[in-house]
Amino acid sequence: MNIKKNIIGIFIIALIVPPILAGLWIGICASFGKFGSISHGPVSLEPWGVLLTEPGFISSLSATLISGFLSTFFALSLALIGCYWFQTTYSERKFSRFLSPILAAPHSAIAIGFAFLITPSGWFMRAFSPWLTGFESPPQIITSNDKFGIALALGLAIKELPFLFFIAITALRQIPLSSQLKTAAALGHSPKMTWFKIIVPQIYRRIKLPIFIVLVFGISNVDMAIILGPTHPPTLAIMALNWFHSPQLEDIFPGSAAAISILIIAILSIMVWEIFVKYIGKAFTAWVVLSKRSSSMEHLFPIAKSLILLIVFCGITALLSLILWSFAWRWSFPNIFPENFSIANWQRAISNASSIIYTSTFIAISSATISLALVITWLEITRGKRLQKFEWVFYFPLLIPQIAFLFGIDIMLTHLGARNALFNVILVHCLFVLPYTLITLEHSWRNIDQRLIKTATALGLSPLRTLWRVRIPILLRPILIAFAISISVSIAQYLPTLFAGGGRVSTLTTEAITLASGSDRRVAGLYALLQIMIPLIAFTLASLIPLWVFQNRKDMHGGRA
Amino acid sequence: MKFSILAILAMGASVPAFADWAETVEAAKGQTVYWNAWGGDQRTNDFIAWVSDQTEELYDVKIEQVKLTDTAEAVSRVISEKSAGNLDEGTVDMIWINGANFLAMKEQDLLTGPFVEELPNAKYLDLSPTSAASIDFTTPVEGYESPWRLAKFVFAYDSARVSDVPASMAEFVQWAEAHKGRLTHPTPTDFMGATFLKQALVELAPNKDALQTMITPESFTENTAPLWEWYDALRPNLWREGQAFPDNQSVQQQMLNDGEIDIALSFDPASTASAIEQGLLPDTARVFVPENGSIGNISFVAIPFNAANSEGAQVVANFLLDPATQAHMQNIEVLGSYSVLDPTKLNQEEAEMFDALPTSPALPSVSDLGPTLLEPHSSWMTRLTEEWAKRYTN
């Protein structure tokens, strides 16, 4: 029995790890000039030479680093301090009402909306023109697509703040919060300083993994960088993508070098981050010992509060602007609202987009179902087992920059003769969906009241029936939420869809990003809205279904993800 | 009829008889053609969807548009399929292509062909050796790609904001000085950005004949020196002082619509009229062309060597050349792209379909457009963009 479980567990791991390693290996080989039939001669450093001497490489590198670190640092510090505010003043419901749409929206949708807010002809400038600024034409200032990647960092922060925030709140539940706060208060510490000195480090320790995921995404993302990032030169990830898509065959080599360099940068960044935090931690400990019970640090709290409000405001207005654009006909500077409205965009979309909506939903439901089945199997067979130690490999796909191994996976799929593009997309999506399914479900699954399971077993239920009759019904709400999150992760995938689908699989996200590189903000906005709607429907169903199923069972409403 | 059969027999085996075409049409039945085409323009996407409806009804051939952000994506896909040994089940059936991408595919033997002369509707084309349909960026087409829409380089501006427009590329320098930050061009890694530089090159190069031949280091230095001098004078007065550039012409058109800049550019003389029609540019937008003419070329469709649905792709290529299709395409309410057919080869009925199309003040007449200048040899574009990147990237 045990051996059987181990075999299943190893099998699940084998679904994830070998493809990624093989993908990486192909990329590394290509970065040294070895690639299938077209590699010429022995191992060569030339691709790396091409990369390093590419005009603007240094600017590209610095924009990559700035957008990665700035966004992570910004979103993280606001999330850590923001929890305080949430914990003391607001109910979860009230807060998540504003954060959920941003959380559910794919990165590219937020990017499209945010780009419109901040461009010199954008919504913010329109709100003050010409009555205050005197601008009849948009001013000559640099906002989006700035050289340093700051607009990109802000866009990323908008999207990552709610993510880190919810993660931090989950971590908060594992900390004996009220007793610690009470003890500190009894010793005369102000609640804010207690939060800062005692609680924040405890949360940080628990959410390291998500932080690294955010950091790696910030360094390597393509979806947001295409829309908000610098263009001349672009970030490294876009540079790599351009080489991969060049008509010159040899460009695969510098493209791979760029992709592998992103992997190296990601690894180094995590190390630098760790060292940095270690030293901050030391200084922090010294400061905690020496500082007063209340200090000027408390001023950070209202600043953080206004920044959080600003970020959430940007996210929500970005989404609102998409709604307006999708119904606009003409909307020119400096009008704050469209001159005229039209439903023509929607009419055209209904006839053209229905098959794309269908494809996206099909991919999302398939990959979410596969991931959920694998995760439940994994959680069941690893209960109290050593195998659990290997769980971190599931986060591989999120910790390794996508672009470093997707090209290799694509080549591998072609070699294996896997030519059903839709099938390939679903499989590759699973790599990125599964870790999120696991992260959302793991905690509630493992912390279920064991007495219920024991009772069921004592009453003679087989393990399978216990799973089916006891565990799943009790955990219905977290399971459905994990499923909804999986759907939203799948809907948002851009690069995996592009590579695994060979461009033949159009989803709402590939469509929205392609359209964002065109001239019609109305259609781009519309597709971005459609991108958000599917996850929102999924989340709504996830919260309604348990209420309906358990309408006569009051105690079953409380289960948390 | 008798004459045409005789003519075909006389022309030998290279031109197949109608029987062959009938076979192609038969083989194409039920196929789905994966047409890889840049997807950034909704009207083009809609037009392709319309074509699919028509070919499905007429020939039982469906089209699935693979929307690219960059045509090179399709080329690299065919390359990777070839290197993976996929020789007859290719996933790319047809590509909207021209210039460097065509040259790259033709040189690497990645295309099916020659097939154009086998298309019944090829009779409407001017396929003489020096015609625009026979030479793609100085690369001889030789039947490896079939024309579908005409491209000619034009500028667009908003006549409500700007009254003076430059009459030549040289005059852009003074114009930009007078309108600081109101001019830009797409990044030259983009096709249109490169065309902006080429248009200036064609006007400024001391030895214009050299542009039509393979580049040499000497001819490059000699002929681009005035261009860089011109660009150095222009750049400080560009949008964002020439430190950043829009990704492509669509983004630039959006910037014109937003009023961030005053001049956009396009390879489609009708694009301004159709953009107005769609609410994407103000009603006051107009088109202008440098007085001595502008670069022009034709957009083609090509079929990769390993296309799984090659027959279907030929049926689609042929349908695109049908006078009724071309007239529908030229309608500004549909796509507004100029026809690639030779007007002298149309009969009266066919010519009338074009005469009956609606007009617009933003639609330039053929005489407004001035002479069509030849594209430089493809090797120029590659070197030009490399040199530009080296000089102006920091």
Report the distance separating Cα B151 and Cα B222, nearest Å: 29
Residue with tokens 């869809």: A497
B198 lies in the same domain as B58: no
Flag whether B365 is in a domain: no
Contacts of B86 in chain A (CB under 8 A): 414, 419
Report the distance separating Cα A146 and Cα B255, nearest Å: 16
**Percent of chain A residues topping a pLDDT of 90:** 51
Q: What is the pLDDT of residue A352?
A: 75
B198 lies in the same domain as B333: no
Question: Mutate which of B35, B36, B42, B390 to test chain A, going by most A C-beta atoms within 10 A?
Answer: B42
CB proximity B195 to A under 8 Å: no
B234 lies in the same domain as B346: no
C-alpha angle B71-B301-B264 in degrees, rounded to nearest 5:
55
B32 lies in the same domain as B138: yes
pLDDT class of A90 with cuts at 50, 70, 90 = low
The tally of domains found in chain B comes to: 2
Which of residues A35 and B202 earns the better pLDDT score? B202
Question: ipTM score of the complex?
Answer: 0.86
Q: What is the pLDDT of residue A6?
A: 85
Flag whether B81 is in a domain: yes
Flag whether B60 is in a domain: yes
B211 lies in the same domain as B317: no
SS3 B83: helix
B292 lies in the same domain as B160: yes
Give per-residue pLDDT as tens, A226-254. 999 998 899 999 999 999 887 777 888 99
Cβ contact B240–A230 (<8 Å): no
φ/ψ of A286, rounded to 5, equals -60, -45
B275 lies in the same domain as B307: no
Which of residues A36 and A183 earns the better pLDDT score? A183
SS3 B148: strand
Give yes or no for residue A503 having a pLDDT over 80: no
Flag whether B363 is in a domain: no
Measure CB to CB from residue A247 to each of B84, B100, B253 and give the nearest one: B100
SS3 A328: strand
Report the distance separating Cα A491 and Cα A315, nearest Å: 19
Chain A closest CA to B9's CA: distance in Å? Answer: 40
Give yes or no for residue B154 having a pLDDT over 60: yes
B189 lies in the same domain as B287: yes
Q: What is the DSSP string of B126-147?
A: --STTSTTTEETTEE-TTSEEE
Quick one: which of A238, A270, A74 has its CA closest to A153? A74
Give yes or no for residue A557 having a pLDDT over 70: no
Q: Sort strands A328-330 and A340-341 into parallel, antiparallel or unpaired.
A: antiparallel
A-B Cβ pairs (cutoff 8 Å, strict) = 156
Give yes or no for residue B326 having a pLDDT over 70: yes
Flag whether B135 is in a domain: yes
pLDDT, average across residues A392-415: 90
Full residue range of the structural domain in which residue B211 is found:
154-296+370-392
Give yes or no for residue B16 having a pLDDT over 70: no
Contacts of B80 in chain A (CB under 8 A): 410-411, 414
Report the distance separating Cα B216 and Cα A134, nearest Å: 53
C-alpha angle A68-A73-A78 in degrees, rounded to nearest 5:
135
pLDDT class of B131 with cuts at 50, 70, 90 = confident
Contacts of B76 in chain A (CB under 8 A): 244-247, 249, 252
Give yes or no for residue A99 having a pLDDT over 70: yes
Contacts of B389 in chain A (CB under 8 A): 55-56
Q: What is the pLDDT of residue A91?
A: 61
pTM score, two decimals?
Answer: 0.84
Cβ contact A519–B275 (<8 Å): yes
Residue B114: cis peptide before it, omega within 30 degrees of 0: yes
pLDDT, average across residues B124-138: 85
Flag whether B19 is in a domain: yes
Contacts of A230 in chain B (CB under 8 A): 244
DSSP state of B117: G
Q: What is the pLDDT of residue B100?
A: 81
Whichever domain contains B102, its CATH number is: 3.40.190.10
- Count of all residues that appear for chain B in the document: 394
Q: Sort strands B294-302 and B372-373 into parallel, antiparallel or unpaired.
A: parallel
Measure CB to CB from residue B254 to each of A232, A352, A519 and give the nearest one: A519
B51 lies in the same domain as B111: yes
Q: What is the pLDDT of residue A556?
A: 66
Give per-residue pLDDT as tens, A435-490. 999 988 988 888 888 888 888 888 888 888 888 888 888 899 899 999 999 999 99
Q: What is the pLDDT of residue B4?
A: 44
Which long-range CB contacts under 8 A does B366-372 form with residues at least 24 apart? B368/B287, B368/B289, B369/B152, B369/B154, B369/B269, B369/B289, B369/B293, B369/B294, B370/B289, B370/B290, B370/B291, B370/B292, B370/B293, B370/B294, B371/B292, B371/B293, B372/B132, B372/B152, B372/B293, B372/B294, B372/B295, B372/B296
Q: Sort strands B139-140 and B154-158 into parallel, antiparallel or unpaired.
A: unpaired
Domains A45-342 and A344-561 share a fold: yes
- Of A26-40, A528-542, B218-232, give the range with the top mean pLDDT: B218-232
Cβ contact B40–A121 (<8 Å): no
pLDDT class of A92 with cuts at 50, 70, 90 = low
pLDDT, average across residues A101-109: 90
Quick one: which of A453, A483, A482 has its CA closest to A470? A453
Q: What is the pLDDT of residue A257?
A: 96
Give per-residue pLDDT as tens, A338-353. 999 999 889 887 877 8
Tokens of B182: 């109101």
Which of residues A396 and B19 earns the better pLDDT score? A396
Contacts of A242 in chain B (CB under 8 A): 70, 189
pLDDT class of A104 with cuts at 50, 70, 90 = confident
* Mean pLDDT estimate for chain B: 89
SS3 A339: coil
Give per-residue pLDDT as tens, A80-89. 988 887 777 6
Q: What is the pLDDT of residue A38?
A: 62
Give yes or no for residue B18 having a pLDDT over 70: no
Flag whether B182 is in a domain: yes
- Of A4-18, A117-131, A157-171, A256-270, give the range with the top mean pLDDT: A256-270
CATH 1.10.3720.10 holds for A45-342:
yes
DSSP state of B377: P
Cβ contact B42–A120 (<8 Å): no
Give A512: exposed, middle or buried? Use CB within 10 Å, 0-12, 13-18, 19+. buried
B55 lies in the same domain as B195: no
Contacts of A121 in chain B (CB under 8 A): 255, 258-260
Give yes or no for residue B1 having a pLDDT over 50: no
- Count of all residues that appear for chain A in the document: 561
Report the distance separating Cα A365 and Cα A422, nearest Å: 13
Give yes or no for residue A551 having a pLDDT over 50: yes
- Between positions 231 and 260 of A, the ones with CB within 8 A of B are 231-233, 242, 244-249, 252
Report the distance separating Cα B90 and Cα B34, nearest Å: 10
Cβ contact A519–B251 (<8 Å): yes
Cβ contact B67–A514 (<8 Å): yes
* H/E element, B285: strand B285-288
Question: CB neighbours (10 Å) of residue B2?
Answer: 6
Name which of A315-324, B219-228, B373-382 the model is least confident about.
Answer: B373-382
Which of residues A36 and A210 earns the better pLDDT score? A210
pLDDT class of A277 with cuts at 50, 70, 90 = very high
Contacts of A419 in chain B (CB under 8 A): 86, 89, 91
Q: What is the pLDDT of residue B133?
A: 87
B263 lies in the same domain as B172: yes
Give yes or no for residue A97 having a pLDDT over 90: no
Cα dihedral sign for A120, A126, A129, A133?
Answer: negative
Flag whether B340 is in a domain: yes
CA-to-CA separations, A305 to A78, A302, B361, in angstroms, rounded: 8, 5, 54
B200 lies in the same domain as B216: yes
Give per-residue pLDDT as tens, B77-105. 898 888 888 888 899 999 999 888 898 89
Q: What is the pLDDT of residue A554?
A: 67
Q: What is the pLDDT of residue B199?
A: 96
Residue with tokens 């969807």: B49
CB proximity A223 to B under 8 Å: no
Q: What is the pLDDT of residue A351?
A: 77
Contacts of B101 in chain A (CB under 8 A): 247
CATH 1.10.3720.10 holds for A344-561:
yes
Give per-residue pLDDT as tens, B259-281. 999 999 998 888 899 899 889 99
Q: Are B206 and B239 in contact (CB under 8 A)?
A: no
- Between positions 5 and 44 of B, the ones with CB within 8 A of A are 34, 36, 39-42
pLDDT class of B8 with cuts at 50, 70, 90 = very low
**Percent of chain B residues topping a pLDDT of 90:** 61
Tokens of A13: 């791991």
CB proximity B72 to A under 8 Å: yes
The ranges assigned to domains in chain A are: 45-342, 344-561
Q: Are B312 and B115 in contact (CB under 8 A)?
A: no
